[in-house]
Structures are given as structure tokens and as C-alpha cells.
A and B are shown apart, each in its own frame.
Chain A
Amino acid sequence: MLTRSRPRLGSVGVVDPGPARNGAPGPRDDEIAQRFAAGDESALALAYQRWAGQVHGMAVRAFGPGPDAEDVTQQTFVSAWTGRAGYRPDKGPLPAWLVGVCRHKISDTWARRDKQRREAEAAASQLQAGPSPVTAGVDTAVADRMLVLDELDLLGQPQRGIIELAFFEDLTHAQIAARTGIPLGTVKSHIRRTLERLRSRLEVDGAALHA
């Protein structure tokens, strides 16, 4: 069985930090994570220096450079800081957690845009043709996305790391086993149980949302 100390379960470690990261050794990542969790204000600045590029890179890929992406990055760090009680250093690296927070913010921003678009379309089609089948409700895919991201936050390790590698890095179960050192059979059964768990969440809460 795997213990949580396996490298790279988080998915952020994959990114080459790049040459801009300096040669001088700052505090280690896990030290920053501990200080962040403990509410040390300098750790927020350090976390930002070290990982804002990755977070912002995701935001820019989702929305292009500009205010939406900047809002996502800003909200990610603000809500990571105010919600730091929800971060447990023993459950995984801080950058992976920040990326998880960023996914929520991207998803929120996407949902807001989607809603605005639907409302605009609904208004436009009402102008043209009276009652129309277009509704301004929340799209099922948007609601599902939020529920799944929410449920991922509740997963322990290694389940979360495994499913994130499958979802977000598009690795096969064999690649995940090779990457993490977890036996193939264990990876497969974690994947199955996690997908079943996510399905239950969608059936229960998704159904409630659309009832």
C-alpha cells in the first residue's frame, strides 16, 4: 500500500519551475506549506512567489490573458488564505491544493459566464419570438462540474491523487501506477470506487438540483 509521501501525487510537481526561480535556496516547499497552514503571513507571499505562475497559467489557459484570469488567480490565493484551515499539510503538497482551489474558481467563473450567456440568449430569443425553449437555468454540465470538484476535495489520499492524474493529466491506470509506485490492482480498484462515489454524489445532489 502506498503512503502519502509518494512524490508527485499532487500533479503540480510536473511543472518545471523554470529558470526564473532563482538559484538561492528559499525555504523548502513543505516548510512553506506548514507555515501557510499555521497562518504565517510571509508564507502567503512565498507561496504566491513560487506558485502564482502555475495558477495563473491555468487561469490564462481557461479564459485568456486579462481580467477574468487575473480575478481567478486573485480569488484563488485570497480564498486559499482565508480558507487555510481547510488545508492539511499531511494530506498533500500546498501547490496541489492551490491548483484544486483554482479549479473551483475557474469553474465558478465559467458558470457565471455561462449563466450570462444563457440569459442574454433567452432575452434575445424572447425579443424575437415570444416564449422560447431556451432557459436561463444552470447547465447540467456546469452543475456536475461543481459537484465533482466539491467531492474531490473530500477524498483522502491516495484516492484523490490517483483520480486527479486520470482526470487532469489524462494518464492511464498503468501510467498512474508507474508514476506513483502504487500497485496496478490497487490503482484500478481506487479508480472504480472513486468513480462510483462521484456517481452517487451526482445522482443524489445532481438530481436534487434539477428536480
Chain B
Amino acid sequence: MQHCMPEQLALAALREPLPAEDAAHLDSCGACAAEVASLQRAVDAVAVPLLAAPGAPVEPPAHVWDAIAAATGVPAAATGVPAAADPPAGAEIVPFRARRRPLLLVAASVLVGAVVGAGAVAVLRDSDDGVDAVQTVALDPLDENDASGRAEVVVRDDGSRALEVQLTAPALDDGYYEVWLIEPSITDMVPLGIARSGTQTFELPADLDLGEFPVVDVSVEPLDGDPLHSGVSVARGQLES
């Protein structure tokens, strides 16, 4: 008797019913049955309810997006809003980070006027290494902190911008430093990333208006998985627009 066509054996591996003649042959032919079994290993590995195509959608809780935004550095624009509006590319910063500790942040804003400014110096320099430093600002310690440093906005030849932060700060036993750009009222802010004592470079979102977020802020963040600003700032400087 003739063996089944390879195509039929593949369908059998997917557990499709075969035409009667093929089914009968398969029942009695060890070689064809072995072929089906060997093809079926892949089918059995993934053709399981666990991985089945999406069924009923379930909206995830809001903190899932917050965590994604924090992990990717993408501004948490327009979350929780029905998908009606197309947020203007890269320009929308919602104040979700500030909601949690408004009092601390507002209190801190008083300090900005008092402390920042004196150290701010604008420096222009010619490009000799493919980047232009368009502005340099001193990061002055807040309160009685030991952290200080310098932040420099650089523009590369391709037009992309970055913030180079040189930080001098004591090592933390339990937590880390994070760099933010904050608007003058200390309500909305953009997280740039994690910093340590030394020099590091943070990419600036292409459409970010530094005039809108001129305050360079260094915070101490506990290792608690909370992407929000801790409210504990140790150094600041203000870019001039």
C-alpha cells in the first residue's frame, strides 16, 4: 500500500482529520505514524491554550504603563486617556510624576530661586569633536548635601542633543542618583536616567523644549521600584533659554 503524502502527514501532526484512505493507512503504517509523531513535537510545544491568539482584551492597570515609560524613558504622555487623540510627537509631558509628592516638590521649588542661578554659566565653544556645547550649567548642592557638578547641553553634527552630566557625589549604600529636567514651577518633569559620581551622557528627546524644562535636577531615589521622583533633590542647576 502506498504511503501517505508528506503534506497529509503534516496535517495529521496538526490533528486534522485525514481522508479515509490516508487515515486507514496511517493506522497500520509504523513509518508514517513515526513521521507524524516527529512532526508533532513542535505542534505540542506551542499549540497550547497558554499561547493561543488573543481573546477578550483586558485593559492593564495604569501602573503598567508608568513602569514601561520609566523603563524606556519614553514620556508617559496621554496615558489613561481614551485613544482618541494623537499626542503631538514627543512634546507632551503629563505631570504624573509630580502628583505623588506635591508638597515636597513645591517646597523644593522655593530653593531653586535661592540656590540656583549663581553658578549658572553659559559657555559657547567651537566644534572640534563633532559636538557643540551650547550651554553649561553648574549643579549646586541643595541644603547640606555634598553633591555637585556640571551639566552641559551638547548638539551633535546630526542635530541630536544630549546632556553631559559630571557629578561629584558620595556613593549611596542604598539607592541611586537620578537626573531630571524639570519645568520652573517644579510640577512636570522628564526623567533622563540614572547617574553616578563621574561623567555620563543622557540623550535628550528630539522635540523636548529645554526652555520649558530648564531645571537640571539630581535626586536620590530609593530602590523601591517606584518610578516617581522621590522628592529628595541633592543638586540643581538652571539652563538659560
Contacts and interface: CB of A to CB of B under 8 A. Distances in A.
Interface stretch (B3-11, B110-118, B214-222): B3-11
Interface residues of B, number: 57
Interface of A: 11-12, 14-15, 17-18, 20-24, 26-27, 40-42, 44-46, 48-50, 52-58, 60-62, 65, 69-70, 73-74, 77-78, 81-82, 99, 103, 106-107, 110, 141, 144-145, 147-149, 152, 164, 166-170, 172-173, 188-189, 191-192, 195-196, 198-199, 201-202
Contact of B45 (A20, A65, A73, A148): A148
Interface of B: 6-7, 9-11, 13-14, 16, 38-39, 41-61, 63-65, 67-69, 71-72, 74-79, 81-90, 92, 205
A106 B51 contact: yes
A196 B86 CA distance: 45
8 contacts: A15-B55, A24-B84, A52-B60, A58-B52, A81-B72, A110-B50, A148-B45, A173-B16
Contacts of A53: 57-60
Contacts of A23: 84
Contacts of A169: 52-53
Contacts of B10: 188, 191-192, 195-196
Given A15-B55, A52-B60, A61-B55, A202 B42 contact: yes
Nearest to B7: A188
Contact of B86 (A26, A56, A74, A191): A26
Contacts of A27: 86
A172 B16 contact: yes
Contacts, number: 191
B75 A41 contact: yes
Contacts of A41: 74-75, 89-90, 205
B53 A141 contact: no
A144 B13 CA distance: 16
Given A14-B54, A145-B46, 12 more contacts: A15-B54, A24-B85, A48-B65, A49-B81, A52-B64, A52-B65, A57-B55, A58-B55, A74-B67, A77-B68, A145-B45, A167-B47
A45 B74 contact: yes
A23 B45 CA distance: 40
B188 to A, nearest CB: 16
Contact of B50 (A12, A49, A106, A199): A106
Contact of B68 (A65, A74, A192): A74
Contacts of A20: 59, 82
Contacts of B16: 172-173
Given A40-B89, A166-B14, A70 B41 contact: no
A189 B7 contact: yes
Contacts of B52: 58, 61, 168-170
A18 B58 CA distance: 11
A22 B42 contact: no
B13 to A, nearest CB: 6
